[in-house]
Every structure is written in structure tokens, then in C-alpha cells.
Structure 1
Amino acid sequence: MSEIGDRPESWPVVSSVDVHRDGWVVALRADDLRRPEHPDEEPFRRLVMEHPGASIVLALDEQGRALCIQQYRHPAQMSFVELPAGICDVPGEDPLEVAKRELREEAEFEASSWTHLLSVWASPGITGERHHLYFARGLSPVSRGDFALEHEEAEMVTFWTPFDDLYAAVLDGRVTDAPIALAVLTARARGLA
């Protein structure tokens, strides 16, 4: 292999069955597929969680503090330190626009400077969900408009922490949410924070 990197590839799907689909953002289906070079082989099943992806924002103020959120996540039975983030739930919407919207709706800030950190697959063995991570500076307060926080979001706590403290918390395992860890490590590696 001359150059390391992921590549597009698609294996033949023999059949696909919806396991759960209720019109919400996420659905679950079962695909039966075959290896491309083995058309006579018995198909094997893979579960696929359909998810439109999400945008995540690492926002730093002029004092080098990161804007964080503490939010309950039921599947993990944990309250996580996270970054403002949201689902790309409008078809065709630019992930950067989603990031801007979520920074405004969740944290009531806007930013004058945006840098795309990276886009990654959340867990490609089970889902096509992609995370788009952004770095934001030049923050100023703004109203969330008519957006109303509900459910877990209604209980989330927004707080500021020095970036170096957040970085240390990621490295020593006190902050374990994957998107925040990736954003913090990438921002540090690129010399942005």
C-alpha cells in the first residue's frame, strides 16, 4: 500500500429489513450482505444504525477558557462533560451551519472565527454517523431565539474551564466523551489552543 488512508467501498446487500423506524432521527435496519468476490457464499447479517451525523463546537474565549456543558446521557447512565453539539437533522444543511446553530441554541453564543478541526466516523462498525468538529473563537453573547431547551437539555449546565485543565482532564480520563476528547487533542496538536 503506497499511501495510508480510508477508501470508499461497498459490498453487495442481498436484503435489508427495518428493525426500527419511527420517523425520529435514528433508525435501525438489518442488512444481509456478501463479500464481493464470493457471490455463492451464504449472506451474513450486520445491524446498521442510521444517523444523520452531528456537529460539535470547541469554543474558546479570550482568556483561553473552553465553553463546556455537563449533560446527562441515559444510554451510558452518566452525566458527561461535553461541548455544544447537535444533530445534522435538516437534509442538506452544511455541518458548519449546524455548529453555529448549536452554539447559539445550547450556549447562547456566536463566534466570528471558525476552523474545521476534522470529521470522523462515530462507530463505523454499527453506524454511518459522522461527527464534524469545529474550533470557534471571537465569542459574543446572543439570544437562542425561540429555541426552547427540553428533556436532558433543560437540565444541562454550561460552564467555562481553562483549556489546559480540560486537556489534562481528557488525558487523565476524567473527561471521556469521544467528541470532546478528539476536539481537545486536535486543537492542541494543531497549536490552536
Structure 2
Amino acid sequence: MTIKDTAEEWEVRATETPFKGNKTSVRTDDVVMPGGSVARRDYQVHPGSVAVLALDDEDRVVVIRQYRHPVRHKLWEIPAGLLDIPGENPLHAAQRELYEEAHVKAEDWRVLTDVFTTPGGCDEAVRIFLARNLSEAEGQRFEVEDEEADMELARVSVDELVRGALAGDLHNNCLVVGVLSLVAARHGDGLDALRPAEAPWPARPFEV
């Protein structure tokens, strides 16, 4: 049996946007259900994101620690950021985030996995990349501000991250999904069998 998510769009009788923020908004849709009834659904409209699991030659992952106000936690995460530019190639966005947040560049890029973070209440789609053959980026470090000014940077072994995820000590979705996907890929067809870095992404189409 082949298991695969499929795109589907149910009829929307009415829609409104009661809130617009700097990066995201809230939309209310009146959606026709299979039985003919109409249900109101509120959800966050999100531009999409990219994240980078950067793996060095010592089997360590580049991680950052920063404050996340909505959950009132300092979280260990992998470099990530919004797709601010509509239609932007997600690989280019991921390369930029790795440079800005970790001052690192990578020679080998592949798609690790694609996820919807909270499909019951938000349309955010995230592409998580695997980046290998790392080196220090050239030039001046990117100037950080706000929460990023307090950001910590480290390299942590894959084994330690897996232990932290399964123990409930690490909570960032991209970190947890990314590192567990890495382990699964290694036990499957191998990392070189992962999709190419510019593989199609129906959730957030882009031009190569």
C-alpha cells in the first residue's frame, strides 16, 4: 500500500481576513463539508519557511538557542527563516539563513523532508534541508537584532539530539523532525538518495 498526502480544495462560500500582521494574517473561511453543511474555520496564513540541518564531518549538527516569546522558552533550534519573497527559491533562502544565523556555508545540499507544521490551524509549510561539507563563511558576520542578539551557537552530536528529542528535552519542530528524519534516511536508502535541493515543492511553488 502506498501512503501519500493529496492536494484537495473544498468549496469556500465566504472568506474574510479579520487580522493582518507584519508577516502573517488570520483568515476565516466558511467551508462546505462533505455532507453539505457549512463550517467556519479560522487559521493563520503563513508565507512558508525553510530550515537547515547542517551536518559537519564529526557528525555534529549546527544548532542555535534563542528566546521564543509565544511559548516563553529558550529553544534549541536549527537555522531557519521565513520565505519573505513570494516565489523565492527555497534553497537560496536556506543558504541565506545558514549564513546569517551561523556564518556557515555548505557545498552539498539536499531536501531532507517537507512538512506542514500545524495543518489544523495554520497553512505554514516548511522545507527542511540537509547541508553537508560545511565551512566557515567568508566576510563580515551578519548583524543580529532583537531575540537573535541573545542567540547562542553550538554544534551537537546527532546522538545527543536524538536523546534530547525522545526525552522531551528538545521541542522545536524543525530540529526534532530534521534529526529524526536524518536517522531514518541513514537507515533507509542513505543520505545520497535524498531528493535534490531544488526538488519540486507543491506547497510553495518556485522557479529554479
Choose from 133, 139, 148 the match for 1:138.
133
SS in 1 for 2:23: coil
- Cα pair distance change 1:143/1:105, threshold 3 Å: farther
Q: TM-score with structure 2 length normalisation? A: 0.85
* Residue 151 (structure 1) aligned with residue 146 (structure 2): yes
Choose from 23, 26, 36 the match for 2:24.
26
Q: TM-score with structure 1 length normalisation? A: 0.91
Matches within 5 A, 1:1-193: 3-22=2-21, 24-36=22-34, 38=36, 41=37, 43-143=38-138, 147-191=142-186, 192=191
Aligned length in residues: 187
1:144: Cα distance to partner?
Answer: 6.9
1:112: Cα distance to partner?
Answer: 0.5
Identity percentage of aligned residues: 36
Partners of 1:145 and 1:16 lie apart in 2 by 46
Q: After the TM superposition, which of the residue ranges 79-88 and 157-166 deviates more from structure 2?
A: 157-166
* Contiguous gaps of at least 5 residues in structure 2: 192-208
Partners of 1:103 and 1:35 lie apart in 2 by 42
Aligned AA for 1:35?
M
TM-superposition CA deviations, 1:103-143 (whole Å, max 9, x none)? 00111000001111111111111111111011111111115
Aligned AA for 1:187?
L
- Aligned 8 A contact 1:55 1:99 in 2: yes
1:146: Cα distance to partner?
Answer: 7.7
SS in 2 for 1:184: helix
SS in 1 for 2:10: coil
Partners of 2:172 and 2:156 lie apart in 1 by 16
SS in 2 for 1:61: coil
Report the aligned-residue RMSD. 1.6
Q: After the TM superposition, which of the residue ranges 51-60 and 13-22 deviates more from structure 2?
A: 13-22
Q: After the TM superposition, which of the residue ranges 136-145 and 118-127 deviates more from structure 2?
A: 136-145
- Aligned 8 A contact 2:49 2:126 in 1: yes
Partners of 1:144 and 1:62 lie apart in 2 by 23
- Cα pair distance change 1:136/1:48, threshold 3 Å: same
1:170: Cα distance to partner?
Answer: 1.1
Aligned AA for 1:32?
D
SS in 1 for 2:84: coil
TM-superposition CA deviations, 1:123-176 (whole Å, max 9, x none)? 111111111011111111115758431111111111111221112111211111
Aligned AA for 1:8?
A
1:4: Cα distance to partner?
Answer: 2.2
Partners of 1:16 and 1:143 lie apart in 2 by 48
- Cα pair distance change 1:110/1:137, threshold 3 Å: same
